[in-house]
Every structure is written in structure tokens, then in C-alpha cells.
Amino acid sequence: MTGIVTLTAAGAIDATYRVGILRRGAFARADSYTREVSGKGVNVSAALAAGGAPTAAVVVLGADDVRFARCGLTAPLLRIVEVPGATRVNTSIVDADGATTKVNAPTPPLSAEAWDATVSAVRDELAAREQPWLVISGSLPELAGTHALVDLTAVRAAARERGARVAVDTSGAALDALLADPAGIDLLTPNVDELSAAVGRPLTTLGDVVTAAREIVARGVGIVLASMGADGLLAVTDQRVVFARAEAPHVANTAGAGDAALAGFLLGLTRAPAAEAAGADPLAVAAASAAEWGAHAVAHASTLVAGPPQGIRALVDTEPDLTRALNPEGDA
């Protein structure tokens, strides 16, 4: 069985409040409230499943919330690694203008036993699939009793053993550690701020983004999929650049758009052989799919998407104007 395995080492419960007006320091009563099992890898798997791809989401969750997780819409996708206590809660507040204010709870540390169980779950899910993808998403927790993040060496080794291609969507210290040793990373998905931090300089044009992405590719990464928020996205390899942008029908909630875009890119790659046989550009097909799924997610009130994009078509440019300036507010 082929498929895509996602790893969320810091699972979460996403709480989304919709309010009319959000004012700092003022009382606000929510018009609606949703609560769902989340974490970036879970979001990716949910979008993949909505697109018809076989997927499994390895996710670390607190025991207090496992019953809730097993009753949710994503329950069939979840491979839960249970740890004591409650799962962290990430809160999104969406106002009437569609602006999303997001507060993520701190990532709790994992015990060595819990991390071993997580690695074992990833290994088992990869072993059940032929030529799979492994998507490592979101924050990485510290190993309990240390001041160091959990070590991905065993996870990456499991991917190599199974011939899995590896996609990574993380930031901060976890991204720094991976970029110091990027061997075996086939796809990296930073936003502009994360890419800027990785190369140590501001990025103000499409050309700046491409140059920075190529520096990452030169370290051994296959493809950099750089998200520029409202400015669209760029898929960059050592030889190619593809720009794609899709307009959302409306803005309901920007949380989770990057996860849906990653899922869309992977869904596009699964169609690459057929696209190439039909004379289409596989990288352009994947980039268009990423932009369309990202726009689709923005129009959803919740973090998780339901069903594939309908009526959303991406603008794709295989020779973009690299002098184009980025919108300072473009990255969400």
C-alpha cells in the first residue's frame, strides 16, 4: 500500500472562536466555537484524506483527550501515541474581517519512553506502505530532563530504510538542526519569515526568495516550497522555479493554510506521472495544487478542510518576474 505518513510530535487541540470585533483588553463573546484534534501533521493528513490520498497521522496526545480524539472526524487517520495529562490547546480568534489571532500553547516535553514509542509508531506505519512519504510537521518537543529537542535521527533512519521520501515543515531550533544536516530531505516548506531566518537576511522580492531557497537546495534539499502568504508560493529546485497563486473565495480562517498547501503539493506530486505523460509540467501541477488547497483552507472556518477545492484555479508562472516586490503583510 502506498501512502503518506505524517508525524506530529507535539499534538494539539485547536480551539477556534469567531467574534465580531476583537479589541485588546476588552471583553468579547464568541459567536461560535469549535474544538478539534490538530497539530500540523494531523492537518496535513486531513487534507490528504479529503483529496483521496491514503494517509496516517502519528500524533502525540495527552491521555485526557484521547477519548475525544477517537470520536472526531479525523479518528480513522490517527495513530495516537498516548502520554499522561492533557493535550496542549492552541487558540485561534477570527474576527468579522477574517483576521486570525492565534495563540499556541507551549510544547510540553516528552519522556524518552514516549519518544521511543513515537519513533516505533512511525516505523510501523512506514513499513506498511510501499514507496511512502514521511511528513515531519510542527514543533518538536524537548526530551524530558534535558534542554535539547528530541532527536530525529531514528525517524530519518526509518525513512531511509523504507525508501520513504521526506518532507519537513517546522521552524526555529528544529529547522536549524535539520538544515545543519539536511541529507535525505526531499521537500522543505518554509514561509518567508522562516526562510529569511534560515539565511540570515531579509527577503523583499521574489528573486530574494528564490536565491535563499537555492541556498537551502545547495545544502542537499530536493525542493523548497516557499509560502509567501497572499503573495502566493514558489517551488524551487536547483534548476527550476515555479510561481503559483490562487484567490480564496473568501477569508474565514488563515490557520492551517500552510498545512493544506503542503498536502496539495504532495497530492500534485502523486499526479505527476500522469501529468507528464499528458505533456504537463509536473512541478507546475504540484505548485498549482498547493496554491489551490491553501486558498481552499483559508475559506474554511475550522483548521481542518473538508473535501477538495471546488472552483479555485491557480495562476501559474514558470518564468516569474523575480524583481516583483513582496507585500510586507503578505506572509500569514
Residues 6+ apart with CB under 8 A from 228: 191, 192, 209, 234, 326, 330, 331
Q: Tell how far CA 186 is from the center of its chain.
A: 14
Active-site position among 116, 259, 281, 321: 259
Calculate the alpha carbon distances from 90 to 14, 40, 63 in Å: 5, 11, 17
Residue 113 in grid coordinates: 519512553
Calculate the alpha carbon distances from 139 to 39, 217, 272, 303, 305 in Å: 9, 22, 30, 17, 21
Q: How far apart are CA 204 and CA 331, in angstroms?
A: 11
Q: How far apart are CA 51 and CA 110, in angstroms?
A: 32
CA nearest neighbour of 241 among 192, 284, 305: 284
- Length, in residues, of the chain: 332
CA nearest neighbour of 90 among 8, 27, 147, 145: 8
Tell me whether residue 259 is one of the annotated catalytic residues: yes
Residue 270 in grid coordinates: 502523486
Active site residues: 259
